[in-house]
Amino acid sequence: DDFGVSIGLGRVMFGVGRPDTTVTSEQRYDDGCWHSVIATREQASGKFALSVDGTVVGAKLGNTASLCAPGFVDIGRIQVGRNYFSGKIRNVLMSGHKHGAVPGRSANSLRQQS
């Protein structure tokens, strides 16, 4: 069971496998500007969502299995090693926790430290 975030024809996509289910933004983001992309998934329900620049652009239900295949993560290309992303990527974060959450700390304490 795999997962991935990619860009195709300027649209941002987030998908999970078994069965392959993908959320695709309607808007194109190949405009030369920086964009913030957040992909979240709740294993218990299978719900996964894609946000771009703070706005949810889509959500679907996928499987509830652990997403542990393959044993590596590609950034800027698809898993088979082709279709490389042409552009800049920064601030990649992967976590087993809800976005912005750190165990034992409130979101408010995180904002105060920024």
CA atoms within 13 A on the CB side of 107: 5
Query: Is-contact 29 35, C-beta < 8 A?
Result: yes
Task: Tell me if the bond preceding 103 is cis, omega within 30° of 0.
Answer: no
pTM: 0.77
CA atoms within 13 A on the CB side of 33: 8
**What's the rounded Cα separation, in Å, for the pair 42 and 95?**
12
Question: Tell me: the pLDDT tens digits for 53-89?
Answer: 999 999 999 999 998 877 777 776 767 767 777 778 8
pLDDT at 106: 45
Question: Tell me: the pLDDT tens digits for 1-49?
Answer: 888 888 888 899 999 999 999 999 999 998 989 999 999 999 999 999 9
